[in-house]
């Protein structure tokens, strides 16, 4: 079986180094907010070309804390509306809700799966204060256009970069260009993953950074003195140590992902398969390679019978989830079509040439 994602294989090359890190963290006697976290924050900020990186517990918390930070700073307030794509992973929407803000869903483009900027202006009201741009499947949203809209309407731009570590827009990380804040997840399956939960916020906004260093640690700047109503959401020292070992290989891992994507895009031949759009720039890091077909169940079964594991990202659109029952009757046709047709093929840095050859061959042999 070609597994969709073999995390053991992805982490195997680091095994000895991980064990050495475990030993050194263990022996340091300091397990929360120590030197490994500080050095990862410095390295990741540098990697993202931003002034600040704040390590937090996971990607969801990174998003929630950005919103809470802006609320604390008076730039957002309870009940403000946040524009968000209707076909994102549930965490983006939950983060808006958990910060007492109101998500306003906007349809994506069928080709890119990302938010359709042309549809944003009509959703803007006097309560709209921010756009949450999600870089779904690893491809940057259309940030130039989103930035223009945000400037016109004086909106904050927050990025959900949980799937897009290292994706760049015209040689710059988007956060650097648009001067707001970006949320990352280091969940094991992401392009940069640790061995548990982990996350970070990157930003160039000094006020926000200082607020977040405090909010993630009970709203405290000085131990046992609490300035804000904070939370406990800190990037673990041990996870930071593992991430310090993996970060130097992120760019080459992303290059491997792009090379596989290029092969899939040029060698998979079928009118019944819609391949993902990519302009071949570095704006895509192929966290996922997502095709569309009107014959998904059959194709998935066929691939499975041929020992190729695939996944569906995601089977149910957020507005059809039970948790959001008040949205269940809303209609987002593009989102629904995407959720009915998408299928993710294996694509990761440890896939071998033989496996890639095999996946392409099996797909091209499918009897439609
Ligand atoms: C993974 C993910 C998150 C949440 O990250 P966690 O670390 O799992 O909390 C948020 N948004 C998107 C788009 C994701 O893929």
* Residue 185 CA to ligand 1 centre (angstroms): 6
Q: Is 79 left (phi over 0), alpha (psi -120 to 50) or beta?
A: left
* Residue 173 CA to ligand 1 centre (angstroms): 19
Q: What is the pLDDT of residues 275-320, one digit of tens each?
A: 999 999 999 999 999 999 999 999 999 999 999 999 999 999 999 9
Residue 185 near ligand 1, beta carbon < 6 Å: yes
* Residue 289 CA to ligand 1 centre (angstroms): 17
In this predicted structure, the answer to whether residue 64 has a pLDDT above a threshold of 90 is yes
Q: What is the pLDDT of residues 97-154, one digit of tens each?
A: 999 999 999 999 999 999 999 999 999 999 999 999 999 999 999 999 999 999 999 9
Residue 166 near ligand 1, beta carbon < 6 Å: no
- Peptide bond preceding 32 in cis form (omega within 30 of 0): no
| Helix (H) or strand (E) segment spanning residue 226 | strand 225-226
Whether 242 and 186 have beta carbons less than 8 Å apart is answered as no
Residue 33 near ligand 1, beta carbon < 6 Å: no
Residue 159 near ligand 1, beta carbon < 6 Å: no
pLDDT score, position 173: 66
Distance, CA of 265 to CA of 289 (rounded, Å): 10
In this predicted structure, the answer to whether residue 334 has a pLDDT above a threshold of 80 is yes
Distance, CA of 92 to CA of 108 (rounded, Å): 15
0.85 cut: is pTM over it?
yes
Distance, CA of 143 to CA of 41 (rounded, Å): 25
Residue 187 near ligand 1, beta carbon < 6 Å: yes
pLDDT-derived band at 177 (thresholds 50, 70, 90) equals: low
- Torsion angle in degrees (nearest 10) through CA of 266, 269, 274, 278: 0
Q: Which residue in the block uniquely carries the two structure tokens 């290292």?
A: 166
* Residue 95 CA to ligand 1 centre (angstroms): 10
Residue 108 near ligand 1, beta carbon < 6 Å: no
**In sequence order, which ranges of 73-198 are alpha helices (DSSP H)?**
90-98, 143-153, 174-178
| Smallest CA separation from ligand 1 atom 7, residue | 59
| Smallest CA separation from ligand 1 atom 14, residue | 162
Residue 89 near ligand 1, beta carbon < 6 Å: yes
| Buried-state track 165-174, b at ≥16 Cβ within 10 A, e below 16 | bbbbbeeebb
Residues in the chain: 368
Q: What is the pLDDT of residues 160-176, one digit of tens each?
A: 999 999 999 876 666 66
Residue 138 near ligand 1, beta carbon < 6 Å: no
Distance, CA of 110 to CA of 114 (rounded, Å): 8
For ligand 1, pick from 160, 165, 311 the residue to mutate: most ligand atoms within 8 Å of CB.
160
In this predicted structure, the answer to whether residue 326 has a pLDDT above a threshold of 80 is yes
The Cα-based distances of 362 to 263, 301, 357, 365, 367 in angstroms read 14, 12, 9, 5, 10
- For the chain, the average pLDDT equals 96
Sign of CA dihedral 315, 316, 318, 322: negative
């Amino acid at each position: 079986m070609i597994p969709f994602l073999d995390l053991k294989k992805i982490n195997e090359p680091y095994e000895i180094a991980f064990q050495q890190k475990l030993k050194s963290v263990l022996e340091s006697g300091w397990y929360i907010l120590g030197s490994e976290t500080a050095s990862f924050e410095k390295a990741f900020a540098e990697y993202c070309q931003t002034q600040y990186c704040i390590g937090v517990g996971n990607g969801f918390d990174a998003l929630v804390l950005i919103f809470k930070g802006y609320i604390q700073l008076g730039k957002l307030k309870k009940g403000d509306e946040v524009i968000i794509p209707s076909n994102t992973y549930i965490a983006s929407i939950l983060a808006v809700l958990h910060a007492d803000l109101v998500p306003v869903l906007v349809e994506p483009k069928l080709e890119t799966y990302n938010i359709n900027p042309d549809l944003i202006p009509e959703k803007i009201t006097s309560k709209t204060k921010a756009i949450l741009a999600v870089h779904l499947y690893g491809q940057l949203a259309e940030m130039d256009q989103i930035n223009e809209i945000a400037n016109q309407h004086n909106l904050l731009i927050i990025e959900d970069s949980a799937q897009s570590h290292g994706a760049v827009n015209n040689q710059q990380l988007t956060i650097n260009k648009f001067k707001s804040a970006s949320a990352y997840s280091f969940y094991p399956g992401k392009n940069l993953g640790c061995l548990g939960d982990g996350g970070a916020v990157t930003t160039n906004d000094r006020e926000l950074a200082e607020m977040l260093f405090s909010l993630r640690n009970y709203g405290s700047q000085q131990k046992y003195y609490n300035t804000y109503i904070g939370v406990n959401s800190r990037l673990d020292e041990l996870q930071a140590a593992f991430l310090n070992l993996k970060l130097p290989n992120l760019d080459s891992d992303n290059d491997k992902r792009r090379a596989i994507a290029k092969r899939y895009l040029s060698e998979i031949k079928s009118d019944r398969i819609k391949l993902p759009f990519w302009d071949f720039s570095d704006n895509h890091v192929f966290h996922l390679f997502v095709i569309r077909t009107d014959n998904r169940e059959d194709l998935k079964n066929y691939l499975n019978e041929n020992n190729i594991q695939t996944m569906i990202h995601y089977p149910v659109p957020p507005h059809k989830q039970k948790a959001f029952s008040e949205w269940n009757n809303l209609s987002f046709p593009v989102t629904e079509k995407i959720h009915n047709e998408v299928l993710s093929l294996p694509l990761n840095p440890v896939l071998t040439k033989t496996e890639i050859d095999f996946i392409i061959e099996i797909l091209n042999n499918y009897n439609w």
